[in-house]
Structure formats: C-alpha cells, structure tokens
Structure 1
Amino acid sequence: MCKDRNHFLFSFVQGRMFFLCLCLLIPTIFASYDNRSDLQKLFKVKKNYEETKENDEKNIVWRDWEQLEKAGKWHKNLIKDWYNRAHKQDDAIANLLQTMIMFDKNGKPHMPNGIHPSEKESAKAESEDKHVYPKADKKRNFAEKVQLWEYGYIPYSINPQFNSTQTKIVQLGMNEFTLKTCIRFVQKDYAAWSYLPHNTYLYFTYGKSCSSYVGRIRSSPQNIELNPTSCFTKRTIVHEIMHALGQVHEQQRKDRDNYITMQWNNIADGRQNQNMEKLAIGSKDRTHYDPSSVLQYGLWAFSTNRGKTMSFHDRKLESLVGSSTGLTHLDVKEITLAYNCAAGCTNKPYCRNGGFVGNGCRCVCPDGLTGSECQDVESDSDCGGVATLGRVGYTDLKSPNFPNRYPVDKKCTAIITAPEGTKIKLEVVESRLNLKKDLQRNACLHWLEVRYVSPEIIGPKFCTPFSPIETEGNTLMIRFDSRFSKDYYPDSNQMFHLRASTGGATAPTGQTGVPPPPPTSFDKICSFDTSESCWMSMSGLHIVQYASRWGMTPSYGARSTPGYAYINSQTSFSIQTPANALDGEYCLSFGFYMQGTTVSIGLHYSGYGSVWHRSNPPGNFWSIVSISLRANQGTVLTIYGQLESSGVIAVDEVRIRSNSCT
C-alpha cells in the first residue's frame, strides 16, 4: 500500500494496414468443447521441441519491443538507431513509436515522425486477399457454429518447399499459442489419430494470398495459404492460425458500431465488401473490443482513395491498431474461453483487474499486474502502487523524486479502482507533464502509458500534456517508463504531476488529495431488504427484496429477512468497501447461502490477499461468518464469489462495526 497519500503511486519515498483471410466459415461463434478426457493420452505421443517445451509464463512477452529492455538485448540509442536505419514499419521500435501520441503547436495529435502504419507488410498482404468458396464445403460455410479442434490439439504439416526462414516464421507463429494458451500443435506424422474424431490437419503451403478457413473443416488437408512475397511475418501467421481456430476479425463483430465508424465511400465494393461487413449470424463478443488485436484490420484496409476505411469513435485508440505482432491479452482470453482451457482446474482463483484463469489453473494477468489474483502491480519498489477511490475523491500521481527531475531506468505501474459504475478522470496538473523527447523526430524517449479502457487493453503513450481522459469503466492503470531509453537523462525541469478523481472532486489550492479522517465509531450494514442502496460498491449481484413472493431459492434472507443479494448464473460478484472508509479494529459479519457443484465465496483483504474462502456448499441453509480484522487508511475489504455451474450464491446482512467480534 502507499505510505504517502499526498505523493501517491509514483513518488513513495520522495495506405492500408492489414489482411483478411479466406473466411470459408463465416460464423464467428465459438462452439464449446468440454470433453478433454483423452487429452493426456494425446500428449504422450512424440512431438517436436515446439510442443514439448513447457508453458513458462515468465517467458511471455506481450509486445515485441519489451524484449529489447531485457538484459543482453538492450543497447544505447535504441530509438535513434531505428531512425538512422531504413525505418522498417514492421520493426519492434516502429510498433512502439506508433502507440505514442504527439501534439503539434496547435494541439493537433499525430504520430512520431517516420511512422506510417499503412506501409506495414500486413497492409501489402491485405491487398492480395481473396475469398474462395469451394463447392465441397459451401454448406459448411454457413453453419450456425464453427467446428473447433477437439482437445485444442492440432495436427499440422509444413510444405517441404518452404525455405528455412519461412519454416522458422511459421514455427514462431505456432509457438505464440503453445506459450500462451492450451492449444498444442503436433506434426501430423506423430499425431494420435486413433483418439481424434477426424483426420484433418493444417497444411501451411504457398498460395496467391494470405488465407485460412475459419474453424476446423471436414476435409483434409486444411490449407493455410501464404504468398511468399508478403505473408511470411509472425503477425500474419498468428492471424491465419487464429482464423483456423475459429476466430474472426474485430471489425466484423456485431458490436463494432459501438467503437468504430465504417467509411463506406472509401471501401472497395462499399457495403458489399465481405471483409468489412458484419457477420450475418453474429459473434460471441465475450471480451471487450480490442483495437490492438492481431485480428483488427488496419484503418486503411481496402481503401480505394488512400482515405481511412474505418475510424474509431475514440481517436486516441487508433494509435494502437497494428502495434501487436502476437496474441494480445484479450486474444488469449477469448481462446481460453472458447477451448475451455481451464476446464480441468479445481478451486479456481478469483482473478481481478481483467485477469482470467488460464490452462495453468492460475490467473493470467494483464502485463504490469501480478499476484495470485492480479491484485498487485509489477513495479520498481520505490514507485507505483494500488489504491481505490470513493464515488467522490481524488489522488495525485507524481514522478519519482518530484518536484525535482525524475531518475532514469525506472518502470512504475499504478492501478486505481473506483466503485462500480463510477468513472475516473485523469488530468495533468498545471501542465506538469514534460518527459524526455527526441525533438528532431518528435518522439517520446520516456513516456506514460494510460490504460483507460481496461487494464486488459494497452493504452496510448504520452510525454507532453494531454486533455483530461475519462475511463470507460471504473479502473485506471498508468505505466511510467524511463528504462527503455535509460541512456538519455531528463532535464532539470522534467517531471509529471497528474490527478485522478471521481465525482468531480478537486483539491484545494496547496493540497493534493488528503482524504478526511474516518469516523471514530463505525457501524454500517447492507441488508438488501429496502430500496436503500448498499454503502459498499457491488458488482455482478442481483437484489431481491421479497424472495418468497417470487418463488426464489432461498425463500428468505440470512436472519429470516425478506431480501438478499444473489447470483444464479455462471458469473462472479464482488462487494467492496470504499477507500479510506476504515481505520482501526473491526468486526465483519455476513450471511451466505451456496447451492451448486462448482461454487466459491471468500474475503479479500488488500495487502494480505484472501483471508477466508469457502468452496463447498454447507447445505440448504444460511451460514453466518464473523471475522475480526485490523484496517488502516486505504485498506479495502472485498467479499467475492464465483458460480461456474447451475446453482445460486446469496449474500445478506453484510455488517462492519467498530471493535473486534465477540
């Protein structure tokens, strides 16, 4: 937790862009596949090194430029050297630079000099895309569900005419899935065919375009065709494999109009362009729209006049399109959900801040977050942190060593959470955002990344003042980096001072968000029996005030009261105390009712983790739990629960009062 609330978080101590594919199976709906009983048998067969290496999560790198920060790969003038070379748009440095938002003298945003996403290799591949519908599989193209690969197990073969470089690129693409998901590839000659209900295998071969079927087809081989002049990049291979797994493009989601506007007058064939149309039968849309996904088309895709073919409602997010060369966090989450990668896990952890349970039965956290529940930040020890805001409140974020110049070789992460339904506004205080820049190229050398959509989705990077930003949800994540260009030292006046606020809160002159002291006596309860709202923030719960009238189970509350809060579908919930509401000795008590085969409920104590947990239903009755605890300013208590089967979890009479339980 932060020890100095005044200096919270960062100062504790002081053309075209992408390609589509051969979408032979138009539906985007992932079928669920739960039967993994023969999975271990399948994995007993001989496999090459790509399949046999363990899924070492510590080796996962979500963005290619982050590799360059690692020991042995970093060197001086990383950004300057890119400008002194051929300005390759597919280079890791280019992917980093394009996520930076710079401003001209009139305040108009633009990318750093020399960055042209429409010139990426993926844009060239996009222009060669074709759709073909073989008669043999035409009926299959319009099936209600795409066919997934049983067990997430995919036999494959690579055209022996591929040269060594082309083969390596294909293997790098497959390795993205092996490392980050439960998908496994095995050479077809070693496949355990007797355990599979099909004889289909992926065949990577030459073609006139970059193309793939969507989902597993009935016939074999199932070709992924690659034009040798434009398709052999890791990004292209990953994109085509994602289609083969059953995924389709972001811009074809049924909810795409909430995020982007299609510029039909600029698009080849206009509304008849089947690469840009919404899919007729819809899409699952289980995860948030991800502008950085490999499945997001470029903003100039299929343009007839060099104009944009799609625009984001939030133009800041356009800097993220095309910046990923591999699977993003949400790409992996979607595959994990579709292929039930965590189906065999017992006592699954409760994952926060966009984390999810992966095939290792642990939380897969967005990069920058860590901990068994993704509750902590990956940050240098003297900066960064975790905090919560109430519905009206604020806190300041300052650079390390503020108000003096910040040090180099720092990487700081901060995450701030507000009550459910509350947005957080981030603004620059007195224009104090002045980080090291390359003035000649108009690029950031040190930067702040602002994730305001969700911790799961990378954010744009800034090194100069920006207009106030409001979060889409109730979470704000900020990352400061002076490590990538640690060979460039800031000037004496370079620092930052930001303010995160909720409910229109502002700091008086000379103050920086010091919260009022908590009351000396405390006794609050959420009974759910009246229309009065609970003083704690709630997420995922339904409230019924007269359960017996509606034939609900249970038919009454924890103390024979008429109402309670509950979930009765496969989802999760949380009840959380506001920040700075508690300071002293307290007794927390609440009633809970659980019914179902895979249910759990627990209590999370910020700074300590889970302090109480129950995963076995006690029976067809209410149970009461009382827990004595010590809280400091900033302590947040969270009652959480998860229901993964049919059943119900109900909570009632949540009470916190001063003094320990007797």
Structure 2
Amino acid sequence: MEASFRARKMGPVNSLPFLALLVILAVVVPALTQEVGVIGRRKDMLKLDELRNQHVVQRSATSEIEDEEEEIDLNLMARMLRKLKQEEDEDEDEDQASDSAKATKGPAVDGEKLIQEALKGNVDPNSEVVNLVESMLVDENFKHNQQPSGIEKIAAKKGKVYGDTHDTHRWTKEQLEELNNNGGRKRNFPRSVTLWDEKIIPYTIADSLANYPRYVDVINKAIKQFDDYTCLKWVPRDSAFNTASYKTYIEFFSESGCWSYVGRVFNDKQQISLQAPFCVTLSTTVHEMAHAIGQLHEQSRGDRDDHVIMKWDNIQGGRDNINMAKDDTHDYNPYDYESVLQYSLTSFSKNGGPSMEFTDPRLNFLADSATGLMFYDIQDITDAYDCTAPCKGPNKDQPLKQCQNGGFVLHTCDCHCPEGLTGTLCETVVTDPVCGQGIIDLGDGESRDITSPYFDFGGPYPTGKKCVWLIKVPAGKHVGMTINEMDLTTTNGACDHWLEIQYNLIGQTGPRRCGKLTAPEQYITSQYGNPEMMLLKFDSAFASTASAGKGFSLTVSTRGTGCLGAPCLRGVCSDTQDGGYLCTCEKGFTGRNCDLYLGTGDILCDFENACLFRNSPSNKYTWTRHTGPTSSTGTGPRSAKSGSYYLYAESSSPVSTGTTFHYVSPYIKAGHRCLTFWYHMYGSDMGSLNVLRNGSQVWTRSGDQGDSWHRADFPVGTAGLKYNVGL
C-alpha cells in the first residue's frame, strides 16, 4: 500500500496529512441592467391583476347578475394582462440571450464544455451549472459517491454562502422574549410576528442601491419571484398600487451586513440591508425578504435534530448564537435542506469547520443551492398567508384542486408541481417516449426493473434524451430502488450524463449519480414528506455531445421501514414481515450488516486496481487516487513508489484545520495479520498519519519526513475479536 500526504495548518495528532492543490479562479460576473419599461409594465400588471380579482369577487357575491358591460371589462383586463405578460417574457428572453452571448463571448457552449469550465472556476459561482456540478456523486477509479474534485472550493464563493455567513437579525423586544422562552410558532413563522395581513408590502430603494442599475435589477428579480409564486405583492410605496391601510414600508439599502427585521414590526419605515456588492445576490435578497414577511431559519425548526447535527464547538458563540437557536414549531411541511432559509454548512464557523451537518450526507450539496424561493418555501408562504383563500369562493365552500404526486395549490388556484411532473393535477410525467412507461404503480411486495434506453441490447444509450419515472407504492410503504449496474459517462471526475434520484422529498433536488458502479447500491425514500413516491430522472441531453456508456439497470420495489438507514454495508437490504431487515451480502462478506470479510489470504491495495479499503461514509473530504507529481513545489511525491498510482488526501480551502480523512477496511476475522504500506510525508506544514485498529491508535507519524517514500510494517491482528483497520 502506498500513500502520499501533505498538510497545511493542520491541528491535532488525530488529523491526517494531505495534499493541497492550487486552483486559480477566474470568475466571470455578467453585468446586470435595468429597463424602466419593465418596471412600469410590472406596475400595470399588478394593478390590472388587483382590479380583476376585486371584480371577480364582486361578481361572485352577486352571481345572479349577468351584465354584458361587466363581462367586456373582465375580458379586456384579461387580454391586457396576457399582452403585458407576453411583452415581459419576451424582454426577459432577450435579456437572457444577450447575457448568455456576453458570458460566452460568442455562440453558447455545449453542456459538456460548460461543466468542464465550471470545474476550472471559469463561470460565475452563482450560476446553475455550479449547482449542477455540486450535486454530482461520481464513481470513477477509486472514488465512490464523491463530488467532482475542487467543486466545493468553487461553490464556497457563491453569494448565498457569503450572505448566510453575514446574515444577522434585528429583533423587537417581544420577539426576543419569545425566542428566549421558546414560544410556539407556525412552521418558521414566530408566534409574536405581525404579518402583512393585506398581502401588500410597499417598498422603496435607497440611493445607496438605487443609483446602481445592476442592484435594482436583482431586487426586481427577487420581487418577481414573490409576485409569480405567492399572493404577496411588493409594490412601490408611492404608487397607486399601494392600497394597504398600514403605513409600514420596506426600504432596501446598503449598510454593514445582510439583515432584516422579522415580520412587520414598525408603523413606518422598516429596513432590509443588502451590503453592496456581496449581499446583493438573488438568493440573499430573497432570504432577507423572507425574514421581512415573517420567516426564520430552517435550522431553527423544532424538528431540526431529526435532520441536522449541530457542531457547537465550531460555531461562533456556541449555543448562544441566536441564528442557530432552536424553537418550538408546528411543522406542517417537511424540513427542507434546499430552502432559501437553510444556512450553508459552514455559516458562522469560527474555525472553518462545519457549523452543522445533515444526517444524510448525500444531500449536503443542497445547503447552498437555493437560487431564491424553492418548492417548499413557496408552500410555506402559501400556507402561512392562506394564499388559496380566494380559490374557495366567497363562502369558503368551494373545494381546492386535489393536486397529486406532491403538488399543491398556488394563489392562482392552479397546482404547482414538482419538477418533472405536469398536468392540471400534476398527474403526468415529462419524459421522452423512448424511455418507456413514466408512471409505475407498485403493489405491496411488488418490484419492477427499469433500464436506460437500449440497455437490454448492450447499449449505448441515446444522447439528447431526458427520461422521468415516477414510482408509487401504497400508503404507509416506502419506495426502494437498487442500482444493479451503472455505466454513465464522466469526464475529469464530473458527470456528462446522470441519474438524478429524488428520494428524500419529491419536490427537492436529488443527488445526480454517474460513473461505473462496482457493487449494487440502494436508496429508499425517507419517512418525511411523501415516502410513497420517488422521482428518477435520466439526463443525456445537457451534455448531448459527450459519448454514451452502456447505461443503467434499476430495480424499484415496495418496501417497509426495516431498511431505512441503509444498514447493509456490503450487500442488499430486504424488509422482513416483522418490520426488520435482512441483508444479502456481496461475495466474500457475511454478518447481519454484511460488514465482516471472510477472506483469509493477503489483502492487496496497490491502487492500480480495486481495493478492499474504502473512504469512510462519514468523510466530508476523501482520499483520492493520483498519478504523477504534486502540483506545488516543496511537497511530494513526484511519482508512485511503484506502478502509476498512489493515494492522497487534499487539504486546500475549504478544508479546515483538524479535518480527518478516514480510509478503512471492513471487519476482518480474528487472527494474526501484518500491515505493510509505504507513505510519503514531505512539506513544512505536515500533519499526522495514524493507523487505528477498532478505533484505537496502533501507529503514528507526524511532521515532515523528507522527500522520499518510507515503509511501515507492524502487526494489526487480534487473537479473539474481529477487527477493522483504518488510516
């Protein structure tokens, strides 16, 4: 076994040394513009929409009157609204096309090239492609379920990460008392908060922002999200659209930090600070506006401990940090890792380490992915402000649409569907005909196979396709999915084509899997949200010019609760009738959880071929297979001890001091064994390398060991107990 290690700013002895790579980021931030005509058109649309709604309510109250003039007025309003909306959409399309041409300095690049540019740091970190790459979990060489190398460093430059880290609150006396007393509240709306009960939020923009068209443009785009998806209307304070009886209004201005009061708290001016330029991003602006309408943070929910592990030792102020305080809540919608109100995982860290972790690390990428109001944010606001009340008629006795498959009714009285679903009631999937049946209903105990197009003929799958499958099982059951085989192409450690698995919440982005799988892998829907549904999405269209692999073979099934938590480490889980589980182990493994290796011969890891050791599932950062010299001077090695490849761990930003990298064996039957490996520890800031047996240290080296490979050889076996070995 060979390994190479280099460290910078390493902390205690139990942290492993690692290799730091230098990445030069050339961030392109396209200019934003403001068009006066667009603002004026939005004002016209708001007024027309308000007049039409008032007219509809009045006519509903006197439905026996059929006045021709009133009918003409309604039709005229509707036509004018459609025309204004069409003009706005056309302007937006032109702006997007112009921005795209400017950003690419020529014809739009294809998806494959765009992904590679994102990996190099040559795109705006706030762009959707960075979110896309961050969601990828890749199997390539010795990597298993790992993000593309370097993407965390690029994603750390997102505006949302900055906004979350510099987010503060202004509190009234009553709100502080409630927080101190942990008073009850609805969802993340505090009990004492005053809402904008007329659903109108007047606003102004101070000169510190208004004098810069690109900042005004961001605010307008944030306002448009509320206009499009909620019943809350942000209107210019001095315009005819401000019909609110209260005098409170919001002033957007630039001061120190990103902050807002929570709810409507004053009788006149109430401020939202967006310190230019770093707080003036779409996600941060929407985040602060969400506070202003009465919402607090996702990680403050009463059920947060079911979803988030707080790292108090890493948090500024520890448990006294009010932004991390937990409160009693009535949680009518599921905890959403993707919420615009969910902090990034290093927010308010005092040492660069994580301030919190998700209980399911496969979903860590969601913490900084919000681009504004997300699916469940919209549902939260709709519920809190009773946005569907007009849809129930003047007597509140008309039923709402019965949206299916995780959809919900918007203020427009139409269903808002999870992405990939469509139809009046979200009853249809958006899929290519070549993909086969899109909705699969399973009975109790039933299973079905799903394959990518042409898989049964040996592949390759066609490019340029998008497939969606909605898997449904009876109420009270879960959807289980096993990836039996997967060969989806990758380039430089990132997906060209992928399978997205929406298993946690039906309306939440799922991890995107790609590469070549060497052993079956299981997913099961969570117990939150809609456990009886799972969405699967195959995409070979985004990077349609990339070559195709064989594809994938999946098995979907109706499952009970026994396999929740994926207990089978090296095998496939099945539910038992008593609510437990049974593991079917991979060849060479046994034990209730398939965690005991049966082999008796030598275990060889030369990193030229597959290795029995694996990165620990608890790793935030992983060991990586590498060939050739390291990328910086004064470190090593220049090559492997023998062969072409060696293993190393990378410690450059955002990796923090004290981070550990674990590379572990399965449990091995009791007996006498020796561990032999070669290591390279060269560099002025070298940390420590430790070998652990069943969690206890049996060997260690620290500091610079010189520019050469060294051999270690010592006993690790036990006489009577099974054991595992970890680096």
Give the alignment's TM-score, normalised by structure 1.
0.63
1:334 equivalent among 380, 389, 392: 380
Aligned length: 452
The answer to whether residue 511 in structure 2 is matched with residue 453 in structure 1 is no
The residue that corresponds to 2:237 in the other structure is: 188
Q: Could you tell me how far 1:267 is from its partner in structure 2? A: 0.8
Percent identity, aligned pairs only, is 33
Change (3 A) 1:107 1:392: farther
The amino acid of 1:470's aligned partner reads I
Distance (whole Å) between structure 2 residues aligned to residue 419 and residue 448 of structure 1: 24
The residue that corresponds to 1:289 in the other structure is: 335
Q: Could you tell me how far 1:191 is from its partner in structure 2? A: 4.5
Distance (whole Å) between structure 2 residues aligned to residue 107 and residue 425 of structure 1: 24
The amino acid of 2:433's aligned partner reads S
1:147 and 1:246 in contact (8 A); partners too: yes
2:175 and 2:192 in contact (8 A); partners too: no
Kindly report which structure 2 residues correspond to 1:518-537, keeping only aligned pairs within 5 A, or say none.
none
Distance (whole Å) between structure 2 residues aligned to residue 503 and residue 93 of structure 1: 34
1:50 and 1:175 in contact (8 A); partners too: no
The answer to whether residue 414 in structure 2 is matched with residue 362 in structure 1 is yes
Q: Deviations over 1:112-135 (max 9, x none)?
A: 122123332333333433444467
2:175 and 2:193 in contact (8 A); partners too: no
1:377 and 1:385 in contact (8 A); partners too: yes
2:547 equivalent among 477, 486, 489: 489
The residue that corresponds to 1:469 in the other structure is: 523
Q: Could you tell me how far 1:172 is from its partner in structure 2? A: 1.0
Q: Secondary structure at the match of 1:178?
A: helix
The residue that corresponds to 1:123 in the other structure is: 161
The answer to whether residue 548 in structure 2 is matched with residue 501 in structure 1 is no
Q: Secondary structure at the match of 1:434?
A: strand
Higher alpha-carbon Rg: 2
Q: Could you tell me how far 1:323 is from its partner in structure 2? A: 1.4
1:51 and 1:185 in contact (8 A); partners too: no
Q: Secondary structure at the match of 2:381?
A: helix
The answer to whether residue 270 in structure 2 is matched with residue 222 in structure 1 is yes
Distance (whole Å) between structure 2 residues aligned to residue 52 and residue 131 of structure 1: 41
The answer to whether residue 208 in structure 2 is matched with residue 161 in structure 1 is yes
Q: Could you tell me how far 1:138 is from its partner in structure 2? A: 6.7
Distance (whole Å) between structure 2 residues aligned to residue 58 and residue 379 of structure 1: 25
Identify the range of structure 1 (205-214 vs 83-92) with the bigger mean alpha-carbon deviation: 83-92
The amino acid of 1:409's aligned partner reads G
Distance (whole Å) between structure 2 residues aligned to residue 176 and residue 244 of structure 1: 15
Change (3 A) 1:299 1:85: closer
For structure 2, the 5+ residue unaligned runs are 1-49, 58-72, 101-106, 184-189, 392-397, 563-727
The amino acid of 1:40's aligned partner reads Q
1:426 and 1:500 in contact (8 A); partners too: yes
2:145 and 2:513 in contact (8 A); partners too: no
Distance (whole Å) between structure 2 residues aligned to residue 73 and residue 284 of structure 1: 47
Q: Secondary structure at the match of 1:325?
A: coil
The answer to whether residue 478 in structure 2 is matched with residue 423 in structure 1 is yes
Q: Deviations over 1:521-580 (max 9, x none)?
A: xxxxxxxxxxxxxxxxxxxxxxxxxxxxxxxxxxxxxxxxxxxxxxxxxxxxxxxxxxxx
The answer to whether residue 227 in structure 2 is matched with residue 178 in structure 1 is yes
Change (3 A) 1:310 1:56: farther
2:195 equivalent among 148, 151, 161: 148
The answer to whether residue 267 in structure 2 is matched with residue 213 in structure 1 is no
Distance (whole Å) between structure 2 residues aligned to residue 351 and residue 196 of structure 1: 32
2:204 and 2:252 in contact (8 A); partners too: yes
CA RMSD of aligned residues (A): 3.5
Q: Secondary structure at the match of 1:327?
A: coil
The residue that corresponds to 1:433 in the other structure is: 486
Distance (whole Å) between structure 2 residues aligned to residue 120 and residue 411 of structure 1: 28
Q: Secondary structure at the match of 1:176?
A: helix
The residue that corresponds to 2:463 in the other structure is: 408
The residue that corresponds to 1:111 in the other structure is: 147
The answer to whether residue 325 in structure 2 is matched with residue 277 in structure 1 is yes
The residue that corresponds to 2:438 in the other structure is: 385
Q: Deviations over 1:394-449 (max 9, x none)?
A: 011110122321111101111011111111211112xx2111211x2x11011111
The answer to whether residue 357 in structure 2 is matched with residue 316 in structure 1 is no
Identify the range of structure 1 (331-340 vs 115-124) with the bigger mean alpha-carbon deviation: 115-124
Kindly report which structure 2 residues correspond to 1:250-261, keeping only aligned pairs within 5 A, or say none.
250-261=298-309
The amino acid of 2:557's aligned partner reads S
Q: Deviations over 1:127-163 (max 9, x none)?
A: 4334444679877988733211123211111113321
Distance (whole Å) between structure 2 residues aligned to residue 58 and residue 205 of structure 1: 28
The residue that corresponds to 1:79 in the other structure is: 115
Identify the range of structure 1 (362-371 vs 124-133) with the bigger mean alpha-carbon deviation: 124-133
2:201 and 2:235 in contact (8 A); partners too: yes
The amino acid of 1:386's aligned partner reads I
Change (3 A) 1:55 1:185: farther
2:126 equivalent among 77, 90, 94: 90
Kindly report which structure 2 residues correspond to 1:579-598, keeping only aligned pairs within 5 A, or say none.
none
For structure 1, the 5+ residue unaligned runs are 1-35, 506-662
2:200 and 2:244 in contact (8 A); partners too: no
The amino acid of 2:365's aligned partner reads S
Q: Secondary structure at the match of 1:349?
A: coil
2:503 and 2:524 in contact (8 A); partners too: yes
Change (3 A) 1:226 1:73: same
1:412 and 1:481 in contact (8 A); partners too: yes
Q: Secondary structure at the match of 1:479?
A: strand
